[in-house]
């Protein structure tokens, strides 16, 4: 066994020996093995500012639209005595009342068309437009339990309501064809333009409905303001009078302002497709298309901006 000679000797500390002081560093400690094996926590927070429309997400949830449409139609007409007859009675009675009041008045011209048919044609387009806005504006409130518990694109709720109103529009179209046969207006190829003007109605109605439905979540008194707003809008549109009467009495610079109302373009276009008598021109049509798209995109972006707080305040 080999012994080291200096193994047990320790040199004494001399006064002249230098003393070295090393700075202590904090030891590196590793987390426990159980913590290292855990997955990181993912926190989902609402976005800030303006959000994208995410049209692709709406398309992925398209099956939900048909479920909501089917449900809305069943809830609206379930256990009713007349069913779809109520859809036909509303514009019919309105057209008869307007024809009795304004028909004998000479200043309410109808472009050579019988006044009852003229008014009913305008009410067919206006009724779809107003009913779409009226039902969709309160659709989020009616589906508050669905909004607050399940995630899906909230925009689908007012969109489904607007699609469901197409059933009412189909009933009114059938009645309009009956009136055309009674007054001797045969169908023409112009009827093929009805889907195009219907798309314009849907675009404008969707934009206004998105604005009102988003605002109604926080301010419930919009239910009182909307009927008043819709009534003013109807009389500002050529429902009971033709646009040609406005053109003959209003200066040219104000006619462009009047055409900014999208209802002017699609009501006159609808009359042209059905009756062949209308004051529709290319300028009015282009303004209607631009205003309908403006209402749609402005309403959609506003809806996306405020929908992040729907579940908290609805």
Q: According to the model, what pLDDT value does residue 32 have?
A: 62
Q: Which residue has the higher pLDDT, 37 or 189?
A: 189
Write the burial class of residue 271 (CB in 10 Å: 0-12 exposed, 13-18 middle, 19+ buried): buried
Determine contact, residues 91/99, Cβ cutoff 8 Å. Answer: no
Q: According to the model, what pLDDT value does residue 262 have?
A: 92
Task: Kindly indicate the confidence band of residue 157, based on its pLDDT and cuts at 50, 70 and 90.
Answer: confident
Determine contact, residues 140/53, Cβ cutoff 8 Å. Answer: no
Q: According to the model, what pLDDT value does residue 104 have?
A: 61
Task: Kindly indicate the confidence band of residue 1, based on its pLDDT and cuts at 50, 70 and 90.
Answer: very low
Determine contact, residues 300/210, Cβ cutoff 8 Å. Answer: yes
Q: According to the model, what pLDDT value does residue 101 have?
A: 77
Each residue's pLDDT tens digit, 68-103: 888 888 877 776 666 667 777 777 888 888 777 776
Q: According to the model, what pLDDT value does residue 37 have?
A: 60
Task: Kindly indicate the confidence band of residue 3, based on its pLDDT and cuts at 50, 70 and 90.
Answer: very low
Task: Kindly indicate the confidence band of residue 108, based on its pLDDT and cuts at 50, 70 and 90.
Answer: low
- Please name the residues in contact with 280: beta carbons below 8 A apart, sequence gap of 6 or more: 243, 265, 268, 269, 271, 272
Q: According to the model, what pLDDT value does residue 146 have?
A: 79
Place of tokens 């709720």: 157
Task: Kindly indicate the confidence band of residue 286, based on its pLDDT and cuts at 50, 70 and 90.
Answer: very high
Place of tokens 């899906």: 152
Each residue's pLDDT tens digit, 243-252: 888 777 777 7
Q: Which residue has the higher pLDDT, 109 or 35?
A: 109
- Most distant pair of Cα atoms in the chain: their distance: 135
Each residue's pLDDT tens digit, 26-63: 555 655 655 556 666 766 565 665 666 777 778 888 88
Task: Kindly indicate the confidence band of residue 217, based on its pLDDT and cuts at 50, 70 and 90.
Answer: confident
Q: How far apart are the first and last CA of the chain?
A: 89
**Model pTM score:** 0.76
Cα distances from 112 to residues 52, 240, 244, 284, in angstroms, run 49, 14, 12, 21
Average pLDDT on 249-262 reads 82
Q: According to the model, what pLDDT value does residue 307 have?
A: 80
Average pLDDT on 192-198 reads 92
Q: According to the model, what pLDDT value does residue 288 have?
A: 92
Q: Which residue has the higher pLDDT, 111 or 217?
A: 217
């Amino acid at each position: 066994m080999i012994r080291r000679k200096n193994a047990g000797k320790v040199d004494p500390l001399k006064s002249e020996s230098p003393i070295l002081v090393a700075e202590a560093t904090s030891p590196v400690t590793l987390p426990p093995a159980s913590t290292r094996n855990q997955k990181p926590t993912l926190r989902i927070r609402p976005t800030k500012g303006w959000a994208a429309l995410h049209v692709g997400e709406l398309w992925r949830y398209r099956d939900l639209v048909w479920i909501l449409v089917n449900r809305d139609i069943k809830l609206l007409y379930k256990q009713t005595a007349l069913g779809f007859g109520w859809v036909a009675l509303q514009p019919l009675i309105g057209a008869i009342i307007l024809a009795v009041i304004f028909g004998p008045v000479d200043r309410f011209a109808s472009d050579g068309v019988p006044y009852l048919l003229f008014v009913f044609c305008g009410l067919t387009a206006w009724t779809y437009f107003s009913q779409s806005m009226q039902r969709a504006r309160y659709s989020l409130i009616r589906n508050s339990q669905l909004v607050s518990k399940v995630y899906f694109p909230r925009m689908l709720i007012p969109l489904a309501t607007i699609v469901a109103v197409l059933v009412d529009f189909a009933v009114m179209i059938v009645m309009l064809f009956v009136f055309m046969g009674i007054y001797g207006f045969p169908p023409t190829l112009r009827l093929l333009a009805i889907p195009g003007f219907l798309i314009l109605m849907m675009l404008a109605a969707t934009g206004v409905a998105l604005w009102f439905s988003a605002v109604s979540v926080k301010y419930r008194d919009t239910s009182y303001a909307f009927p008043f707003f819709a009534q003013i809008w109807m009389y500002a549109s050529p429902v009971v009078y033709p646009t040609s009467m406005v053109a003959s009495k209003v200066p040219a610079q104000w006619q462009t302002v009047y055409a900014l109302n999208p209802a002017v373009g699609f009501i006159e276009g609808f009359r042209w497709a059905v009756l062949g008598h209308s004051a529709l021109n290319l300028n009015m049509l282009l303004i209607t298309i631009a205003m309908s798209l403006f209402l749609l995109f402005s309403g959609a972006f506003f809806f996306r901006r405020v929908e992040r707080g729907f579940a908290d305040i609805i």
